[in-house]
């Protein structure tokens, strides 16, 4: 057998370079490179290997959590056909990645995490940053990755590596199983050599399958659809990952069946497609939510049916409602006791189109859909043109960015009040034009994620819309964007605290307590003093960005224009009115209210809650 004597870390990098994926005959390299921060737990192993293998590009992040977000956003933008690896030192560098790992896994996005780990050799324990345990020596902080990884392993000997690498690739490239994959790499083992079989380093192409639905199930699904009077499609992220937008558009055009889009699925259809009712669920449009309430059949395509989509299981109120779940994962396909169509979205939608030839929804239903759409466009225009303030309303800022951006540009967001407003209002004109991380809704994803999106497609302008809270949590990747020459347009919406959780706090009777960014007041002892003088523009400028302050609508339009003409990452800071919110429409979210309290507002909220929760359904 031909072998190559390499350290474990050298072998790992040499292997990653040779991994390719292929779907629909298109082949491409799977790993675009590796993100990392070196410490003693990886510098002599992975760090040395990367120095030796300069054609496997190394990117230096400023925070390990951020780099996992960057990697996940890159994979999402690439429809999971490309990914990054992430290397960290041991201890805090490793555990910083856990939030990123959870974000990736919950959103079903492939990232390969390579945390350094404590010595396998043990004789020098406890080493710096080691979590000691009295009951086991087979334990380190990296065990914390287990629940947030779809595959987890620790490489305790260099000869274990090949078998773990093949498992890692199987999971990363599987549309069903993908998520974070963690290979914990003990510091000493990274530097140990072994005679690796040369075969391990040959080019390997992983086929990404498009499994068709079982014929019998497809026929049953077609029968059920033909019998339905008010069918509705819920389009999730799976539509986009499968590149099924055209198939869905054609299916809807042919059948007249309307669509509600989840956060991950927004963009499945262009906003002006006649059957697109827009956002569905807690942050949905009135049309999508009214149609959902009355639907007798829900065809859920590529969605996890999270509580934001199902309005905490109150979204679908027709007593006879049934579900067909078209999903590549059996787990999701069986939710809500659905008829499971386990298949690739694109393939199955094309097959269903054929099976439903001649079928079309009633004229009455079609008229209702058209009316909802028209009314929603008028409501969006109203919210885009409020001319409130200054401070401006958030909806006007969204309207300005939406109108200014080009169809193929990407808007990106993750947490706060922006995701709901964007879900409702953003007029998406390209399947990849709307990028919301709303599986984990992780504050701090925004700027780091924007970098991943930009790296995935340098031809598009990326508009990162970020609240002041999220910005303060993780703005340091501006430095990384500047270093990489990777231009982002970052719009900071400063409302001096948490509009989202502040509003929620008011709704649960807690009066917005603890959700404003203010000085602690000497008299009251609470944070109800003056507003804090945080200067976001000065902060962004200090990190190397071009910065612009905007106060009025006209300022904002000028700022967007100036930003577009910049080659450097540009941060536009605009103050918005926290209390001028976009309303909710025909929906509800289960946030349990205190069962007992002396406060009248809490008692009132509880009474409303007890009524609302009765609408939750079981779907067994």
Ligand X SMILES: Cc1ncc(C[n+]2csc(CCOP(=O)(O)OP(=O)(O)O)c2C)c(N)n1
Residues that bind Mg ion (CB under 5 A): 467-469, 495
Q: Least Å distance between CB 421 and ligand X?
A: 8
Radius of gyration of the chain (CA): 25
Interacting residue with ligand X among 91, 238, 416, 449 (CB under 6 A): 416
Question: How many other β-carbons are positioned within 10 Å of the β-carbon of residue 554?
Answer: 10
Please work out the total of residues on this chain that contact ligand X, with binding judged by CB under 6 A: 17
468 is a site residue for ligand X (CB under 6 A): yes
498 is a site residue for ligand X (CB under 6 A): yes
Task: Name the residue among 216, 213, 267, 258 with its Cα closest to residue 238.
Answer: 267
User: Which two tokens mark 165?
Assistant: 């690498």
- Residue number with CB closer to ligand X (452 or 469): 469
| Binding window for ligand X (CB under 6 A); candidates: 105-113, 208-216, 353-361, 409-417 | 409-417
396 is a site residue for ligand X (CB under 6 A): no
Residue 243, Ramachandran bin (φ over 0: left; ψ between -120 and 50: alpha; else beta): left
107 is a site residue for ligand X (CB under 6 A): no
| Binding window for ligand X (CB under 6 A); candidates: 32-40, 147-155, 368-376, 494-502 | 494-502
Q: Which residue has the tokens 């993100």?
A: 35
Phi, psi of 437, deg, nearest 5:
-90, 95
Reduced to 3 states (helix: H, G, I; strand: E, B; else coil), residue 14 is: helix
Reduced to 3 states (helix: H, G, I; strand: E, B; else coil), residue 341 is: strand
Q: Least Å distance between CB 309 and ligand X?
A: 18
- Residue number with CB closer to ligand X (415 or 455): 415
| Binding window for ligand X (CB under 6 A); candidates: 84-92, 311-319, 404-412, 492-500 | 492-500
500 binds, among ligand X, Mg ion, none (CB under 5 to 8 A by kind): ligand X
Burial class (CB in 10 A: 0-12, 13-18, 19+), 277: buried
In the region spanning residues 16 to 75, those forming contacts with ligand X, defined by CB under 6 A, are: none
Q: Least Å distance between CB 415 and Mg ion?
A: 10
Q: Are 284 and 278 in contact (CB under 8 A)?
A: yes
Q: Least Å distance between CB 414 and ligand X?
A: 8
Which is it for the CA torsion 381, 272, 424, 322, positive or negative? positive
Q: Which residue has the tokens 């339009």?
A: 557
User: Which two tokens mark 332?
Assistant: 């999701």
Reduced to 3 states (helix: H, G, I; strand: E, B; else coil), residue 278 is: strand
433 binds, among Mg ion, ligand X, none (CB under 5 to 8 A by kind): none
| Binding window for ligand X (CB under 6 A); candidates: 43-51, 199-207, 281-289, 467-475 | 467-475
d(CA 290, CA 369): 10
149 binds, among Mg ion, ligand X, none (CB under 5 to 8 A by kind): none
User: Which two tokens mark 320?
Assistant: 């006879």
In the region spanning residues 349 to 388, those forming contacts with ligand X, defined by CB under 6 A, are: none
- Residue number with CB closer to Mg ion (495 or 569): 495
- Residue number with CB closer to ligand X (267 or 439): 439
d(CA 449, CA 68): 9
Interacting residue with ligand X among 7, 470, 547, 587 (CB under 6 A): 470
Interacting residue with ligand X among 63, 268, 303, 499 (CB under 6 A): 499
Q: Are 310 and 293 in contact (CB under 8 A)?
A: no
261 is a site residue for ligand X (CB under 6 A): no
415 is a site residue for ligand X (CB under 6 A): yes
286 binds, among Mg ion, ligand X, none (CB under 5 to 8 A by kind): none
What residue is closest to Mg ion based on CB? 467
438 is a site residue for ligand X (CB under 6 A): no
- Residue number with CB closer to Mg ion (114 or 398): 398
In the region spanning residues 552 to 571, those forming contacts with ligand X, defined by CB under 6 A, are: none
Q: Least Å distance between CB 506 and ligand X?
A: 13
- C-alpha triplet 220, 224, 229: angle, nearest 5°: 170
- Residue number with CB closer to Mg ion (39 or 469): 469
Q: Are 601 and 511 in contact (CB under 8 A)?
A: yes
Q: Least Å distance between CB 348 and Mg ion?
A: 41
Q: Least Å distance between CB 285 and ligand X?
A: 20
Interacting residue with ligand X among 131, 144, 176, 501 (CB under 6 A): 501
Element (H, E) at 413: strand 410-413
Q: Which residues contact 97 (CB under 8 A, 6 or more apart)?
A: 64, 65, 67, 68, 86, 88, 113, 115, 145
Question: How many other β-carbons are positioned within 10 Å of the β-carbon of residue 80?
Answer: 23
Interacting residue with ligand X among 186, 391, 439, 469 (CB under 6 A): 469
Q: Least Å distance between CB 534 and ligand X?
A: 11
404 binds, among ligand X, Mg ion, none (CB under 5 to 8 A by kind): none
d(CA 476, CA 65): 11
Q: Least Å distance between CB 25 and ligand X?
A: 40
Burial class (CB in 10 A: 0-12, 13-18, 19+), 498: buried
What residue is closest to ligand X based on CB? 467
Which is it for the CA torsion 75, 181, 69, 485, positive or negative? negative
Residues that bind ligand X (CB under 6 A): 415-418, 441-444, 467-470, 495, 498-501
């Amino acid at each position: 057998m031909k072998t190559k004597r390499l350290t474990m870390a050298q072998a790992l990098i040499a292997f990653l370079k040779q991994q390719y994926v292929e779907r629909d005959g298109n082949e491409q390299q799977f790993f675009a490179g590796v993100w990392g921060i070196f410490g003693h737990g990886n510098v002599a192993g992975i760090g040395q290997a990367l120095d030796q293998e300069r054609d496997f590009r190394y990117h230096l992040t400023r925070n390990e959590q951020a780099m996992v977000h960057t990697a996940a956003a890159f994979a999402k933008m690439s429809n999971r056909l490309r990914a990054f690896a992430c290397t960290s030192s041991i201890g805090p560098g490793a555990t910083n990645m856990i939030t990123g790992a959870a974000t990736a896994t919950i959103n079903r996005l492939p990232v390969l995490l390579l945390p350094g780990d404590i010595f396998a050799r043990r004789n020098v324990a406890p080493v710096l940053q080691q979590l000691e345990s009295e009951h086991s020596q087979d334990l380190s902080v990296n065990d914390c990755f287990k629940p947030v990884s779809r595959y987890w392993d620790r490489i305790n000997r260099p000869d274990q590596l090949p078998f773990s690498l093949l498992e890692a690739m199987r999971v990363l490239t599987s549309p069903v199983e993908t998520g974070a994959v963690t290979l914990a790499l003990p510091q000493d083992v990274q530097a140990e050599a072994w005679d690796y079989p040369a075969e391990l380093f040959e080019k390997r192409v992983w086929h990404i399958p498009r499994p068709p639905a079982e014929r019998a199930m497809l026929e049953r699904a077609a029968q059920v659809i033909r019998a339905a009077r008010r069918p509705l499609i819920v389009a999730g992220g799976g539509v986009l990952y499968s590149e099924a937008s055209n198939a869905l558009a054609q299916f809807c055009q042919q059948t007249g069946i309307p669509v509600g889009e989840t956060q991950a699925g927004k963009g499945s259809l262009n906003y002006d497609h006649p059957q697109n009712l827009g956002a569905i669920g807690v942050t949905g449009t009135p049309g999508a939510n009214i149609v959902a309430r009355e639907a007798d059949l829900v065809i859920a395509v590529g969605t996890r049916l999270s509580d934001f989509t199902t309005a905490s299981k109150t979204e679908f109120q027709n007593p006879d409602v049934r579900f067909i779940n078209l999903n590549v994962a059996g787990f999701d396909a069986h939710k809500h006791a659905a008829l499971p169509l386990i298949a690739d979205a694109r393939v199955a939608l094309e097959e269903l189109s054929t099976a439903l030839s001649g079928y079309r929804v009633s004229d009455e239903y079609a008229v209702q859909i058209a009316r909802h759409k028209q009314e929603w466009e008028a409501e969006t225009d109203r919210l885009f043109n409020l001319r409130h303030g200054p401070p401006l309303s958030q909806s006007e800022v969204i309207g300005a960015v939406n109108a200014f951006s080009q169809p193929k540009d990407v808007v990106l967001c993750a947490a706060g009040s922006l995701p709901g407003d964007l879900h409702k209002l953003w007029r998406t004109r390209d399947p990849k034009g709307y990028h919301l991380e709303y599986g984990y809704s992780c504050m701090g994803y925004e700027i780091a994620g924007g970098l991943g999106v930009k790296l995935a497609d340098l031809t598009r302008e990326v508009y990162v819309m970020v609240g002041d809270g999220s910005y303060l949590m993780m703005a340091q990747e501006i430095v990384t964007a500047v270093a990489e020459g990777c231009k982002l347009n970052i719009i900071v919406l400063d409302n001096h605290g948490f509009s989202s959780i502040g509003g929620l706090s008011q709704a649960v009777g807690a009066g917005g307590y603890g959700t404003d960014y203010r000085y602690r007041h000497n008299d009251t002892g609470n944070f109800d003093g003056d507003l804090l003088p945080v200067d976001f523009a000065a902060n962004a400028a200090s990190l190397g960005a071009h910065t612009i302050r905007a106060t009025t609508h006209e300022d904002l339009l000028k700022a967007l224009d100036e930003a577009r003409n910049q080659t450097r990452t540009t941060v536009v800071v605009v103050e918005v009115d926290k209390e001028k919110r976009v309303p909710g429409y025909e929906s509800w979210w289960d946030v349990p209210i205190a069962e007992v309290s002396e406060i009248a507002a809490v008692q009132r909220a509880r009474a409303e809650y007890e009524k609302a929760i009765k609408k939750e359904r079981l779907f067994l």
